[in-house]
Structure 1
Amino acid sequence: MRTGRLEAFSDGVLAIIITIMVLEFHVPAEPTWHGLAEVFPTFSSYLLSFIYVGIYWNNHHHLMQLSATVTGGILWANLHLLFWLSLIPFFTRWMDESGFAPVPVLVYGLNLLLAAVAFSILQYALLRREGPDSPLAAALGRNTKGRISPLIYVAGCALTFVHPLAGVAAYAGAAALWLIPNRRMEALVGSAGGSGGGAES
């Protein structure tokens, strides 16, 4: 099976995840700047989670564009990733409503860690399918960010025992790392798109 259906299904799930998160918003209790300030923690947690979902959507799209076909194992690896991503709205709300208490912030970080592991499994499954000399392998290279990020999540989880906001800062730092574009990936994705490779249109 080609990658088009898998990518379309994943796009739909990620869109639903973002929709669920924004539906958790409640308007300020009073129409003042003070009322707006009171919902700022909710907005902050939503923003961080939105950025993470966006990062996964962006990188998932790149993976699919550089892959020709998928196997049953790849489909299950993709579902495994979507499972952990689908929990982001739940843990975001828990973290926000607890006032960034240690346990919810810790569990939020564990969810990010497990999503990162699931994404690595998906990458590995695709690399096995595409081969070591494929455009996908060239685009991923050493995958430095993919190796560093889980360590940051572990550090962030540990920092929650010092102060929960220190853990949140670590998670935000990992997200900032992924906002830096991978020029090699973008160039190879553009090349694959121009040559008709990757997902079905």
Structure 2
Amino acid sequence: RQVNGSTLWANLHLLFWLSLFPFVTAWMGENHFAALPVALYGVVLLLAAIAYFTLTRTLVSHHGQDSTLANALGRNFKGKSSVLIYAVTIPLAFAIPWLACALYVLVAVLWLIPDRRIEKALNS
């Protein structure tokens, strides 16, 4: 319902990391999924996931632990598991790049599954 300066900065932080996706994606494709580009893609994914987590924590902090948003986010399983998987894939990319890419796809599929918690919390 409202934002503050910290929320705006957290949002800009997320947008910065999201803006790097076209570059690392192109580099990964041009180099046929070589280890270094796949690892750097994972770094950008990890930093974007951390920025998203930071944004959600900033919003919850601003609105309070008992707010509708805090209740809707709950334990934030998707956010925390994404950070963990991305952290594992970066070193993995140097050993088995295709497996790192498969884990990137796994996280994407995880986020494609609709999460109705926020919708339910706002409608109740």
TM-score bracket, normalised by the shorter chain, equals over 0.9
Q: Which runs of 5+ in 2 are unaligned?
A: none
Q: Which runs of 5+ in 1 are unaligned?
A: 1-67, 193-201
More helix by share: 2
CA deviations 1:66-92 (Å, max 9, x no partner) are xx1111111111100000000000100
Identity %: 52
Once the two structures are TM-superposed, the CA of residue 115 in structure 1 deviates from its matched residue by: 0.3
Once the two structures are TM-superposed, the CA of residue 183 in structure 1 deviates from its matched residue by: 2.3
5 Å-filtered alignment, 1:153-192, equals 153-189=86-122, 191=123
Q: CA RMSD in A?
A: 1.3
User: Alignment length, in residue pairs?
Assistant: 124
The counterpart of 1:111, out of the listed 36, 44, 58, is: 44
Compute the TM-score of the two structures, normalised by the length of structure 1.
Answer: 0.59
Question: Which structure has the bigger radius of gyration?
Answer: 1
Once the two structures are TM-superposed, the CA of residue 147 in structure 1 deviates from its matched residue by: 1.1
1:89 maps onto 2:22 in alignment: yes
SS in 1 for 2:43: helix
SS in 2 for 1:124: helix
Provide the residue aligned with 1:129 in structure 2.
Answer: 62
Whichever residue aligns with residue 138 of structure 1, its letter is N
Measured in 2, the distance between the counterparts of 1:151 and 1:104 equals 20
Whichever residue aligns with residue 96 of structure 2, its letter is H
The counterpart of 2:31, out of the listed 73, 82, 98, is: 98
Measured in 2, the distance between the counterparts of 1:154 and 1:132 equals 28
Measured in 1, the distance between the counterparts of 2:99 and 2:14 equals 26
Once the two structures are TM-superposed, the CA of residue 156 in structure 1 deviates from its matched residue by: 1.5
Compute the TM-score of the two structures, normalised by the length of structure 2.
Answer: 0.94
Measured in 2, the distance between the counterparts of 1:118 and 1:178 equals 16
Provide the residue aligned with 1:73 in structure 2.
Answer: 6
Whichever residue aligns with residue 67 of structure 2, its letter is S
Once the two structures are TM-superposed, the CA of residue 182 in structure 1 deviates from its matched residue by: 1.6
